[in-house]
Chain A
Amino acid sequence: MAMKHAHPSFVLLMFLLLGLLPFLFQDPRALAVVWLCNLVLIARLGWKRSMVKAYALVGGVGAVFAAITWLPFTNVGVAYWSGSVPLINYPLQVTDIGVLWALGMGLRLANVALLSMYYLLSTSPREIAMGLRGLGVPFSVSYLLSLIFRFIPLVKNDLATIREAQMVRGMSTVEGNAFERIKKYGFLLVPLIFSSLKRVQLIANALDAKGFQIRNSQHRFYRSKRWKKAEVVMLLAGVCAVASLFYIARVHPEHIGVLIPGRI
């Protein structure tokens, strides 16, 4: 993947810029174009089947959920249907602009989910830390944030063992109605939390034993990358592109862009 050779801060900034795009537009047609472009980009960069499936679940369900929750609460435009929430009489309506707005919000969520999932899953914690450091975030903060990802596999292993240990005591996670099954997953949480808390103390000891300090001006990364000219140029071009799209979408939104002025 080309990302491996790029400066980590460059990758982070490019993803942040791409992440800004869904918030420039409100019109679902524009958002759909942005989303499709991002999909093509990600597909070109290369994503694994497991991530595609995970995205379909998180992005798909999340997008539908976002759309449905926004739909009845938009009160601008011509209403197809109106009603109210029982007991409190809060007005609900489905308007033409409301439909577009809801679609837009769904697409925004799908977009942000796509970009953040791809970035977090394909960038190692060390690169995330290096990326943040390059933006001026202090080393200790960026490192501690990236450590969370480092311990996800250990926690996954713990969860698998805990599940087995409860299964051999007769607990079955496949029987029973939905409520019972949720309760059973709750049984797995307590030992998981305890073992994770113990881990946190051990990790703190290991970090300190290896010279980690909160305020460390001496720290430098091994084999840190240098900014390349091409990257700087692309970054500046990206900023200009985003600025001009902002202008089109917000300052002169005659064709595309804003449905409901005053909302983000």
Chain B
Amino acid sequence: MSSVIELDDVWYGYDREKPVLNGVSLQIRQGEFVAVIGGNGSGKTTLAKHCNGLYKPSKGSVKVNGCDTKTMSTAELARTVAYCYQNPDHQIFHSTIAAEVSFGPKNMGWPAEKIEQAVNEALEAVGLGGMGEAEPYFSSKGTRQKIAVASILAMKPQVIVLDEPTTGLDYRGMLEMMELVRRLHAAGHTIIVITHDMRLVAEYAERVLVMHRGSLVCDGDPQSVFAAPDILASAQVEAPAVYRFGEAAGMKGPLPLTLQQMTQKIAGGGQWR
């Protein structure tokens, strides 16, 4: 698998005394599902915004598909790396959903038929197929969030960065959003999710990047992160309840991360105690 985003010793900061990112190096490969976690001021959002060129490093380099982000504008990079904001109300301004979703492709300068096709595919993918003529502002938060995702999907990006996509959603909304993200991953997109929901990380992520005070302190699968209490403490989070119960109950073997895994382990019989 080739690396689609590469950070090489990236430093970033407004204040030389307190850099926001200090010497971060990592590679994200095509098709990965990566979660980025970290406490307040850990630099996780700044890290994600380097991936699409919104921020350029003060030292070191960020390469997207081999091209240095310093040589490209955010608008150019938007074709490859899409960034979906937490609050959909910060971007919606058209009077129909279809017009809203077509904003990105129009900025790319695509011909009209290509735009129409991209918009329809994006709306289908998020579950809003056929709702192109509906009005975006007064719909529910979940719908507005889907419109925001469709808007960036329509630009057919390779990588999708989601900034706390489940904040403010109820449980059903959260499930719908994450199932959508899973489908996008299955369809071949590389996914980077900034989140503080460890249950989400346990359920969906393959790889976890833990940021603390501007440094990358851990880069591994969810199992290894949950098994390290000091790493969790630095990210100001707790392991999911299922995992903590497995620990407290003294379970043998790899501890289950999700309810489904726990059910399989217990109901599957055999020696788990």
Contacts and interface: CB of A to CB of B under 8 A. Distances in A.
Nearest to A172: B75
Interface in B65-120: 73-75, 78-79, 82-83, 85, 87, 89-93, 103-104, 107-108
A195 B108 CA distance: 27
B89 A168 contact: no
A191 B87 CA distance: 11
Given A161-B85, A164-B54, A194-B137, A169 B103 contact: yes
Contact of B78 (A158, A162, A168, A194): A168
Contacts of B75: 167, 170-172, 175
Contact of A191 (B89, B151, B152): B89
B54 A170 contact: no
A190 interface: yes
Contacts of B151: 169
A138 to B, nearest CB: 35
B123 interface: no
Contacts of B89: 191, 194-195, 198
Interface residues of B, number: 24
Interface residues of A, number: 19
Contacts of A191: 89-93
A166 interface: yes
B42 interface: no
A195 B103 contact: no
Contact of A195 (B78, B82, B90, B107): B90
Given A161-B85, A164-B54, A170 B90 contact: no
A165 B91 contact: yes
Nearest to B84: A168
A253 to B, nearest CB: 56
Nearest to A160: B90
Contacts of A247: none
Interface string B46-63: 000000101000000000
B78 A170 contact: yes
Contacts of B74: 167-168, 172
B155 A169 contact: yes
A187 interface: yes
B91 A162 contact: yes
A169 B90 contact: no
Q: 4 tightest A-B contacts by CB?
A: A170-B107, A190-B93, A169-B104, A165-B91
20 contacts: A158-B90, A164-B54, A166-B91, A167-B78, A168-B52, A168-B74, A168-B83, A168-B152, A169-B152, A169-B155, A170-B79, A171-B103, A172-B107, A175-B75, A190-B93, A191-B89, A191-B91, A194-B92, A195-B89, A195-B90
